[in-house]
Amino acid sequence: MINADVTRRVVTEFLAYVRSGRDPSRAVALMAPQVRAHQVQSEDPVTIMRSPADYAEHVQEMVDTWGDFHLQVEDLLVDGPRAYVRLAQTGRHIETGRVVRQINAVVYHVEDGRITEYWMQIDRAGLNAQLHGEPRLN
């Protein structure tokens, strides 16, 4: 049986240090050497492989785009090896100067104390509306 406490600790530490941009180098300790990353791009599911170094570079790209951003975990639900996270990322987009809030939903799978796989959905339409000044739908 997978210990939910281990899953919670790994995912919480990953979000607090790696995904937040505070210390992306911790990805080496919290991610498996190869992680399956399931994403949705233009409504098409895409799976890519990420290494801890690749993920750290990805986070640095976010910092380069958003500057120092704030990551807020709004929900964290753990069931054995899986953790569901709903998070909000708020920052000032460097190119436009606009303060925007991006909402993500992610499910992380943890094995042997490391993230081995994740599924991510991002509210890209909401993000684009904020970046381009389009009215929000209520």
Task: Give the pLDDT confidence of 50-101 residue by residue, as tens digits.
Answer: 999 999 999 998 888 888 889 999 999 999 999 999 999 898 888 888 888 8
pLDDT of 129 reads 80
133 pLDDT above the threshold of 80:
no
How far is it, in rounded angstroms, from Cα 112 to Cα 64? 32
DSSP 6: H
pLDDT band at residue 134 using 50, 70 and 90 as cut-offs: low
DSSP 57-117: HHHHHHHHHHSS-EEEEEEEEEETTEEEEEEEEEEE-TTT--EEEEEEEEEEEEETTEEEE
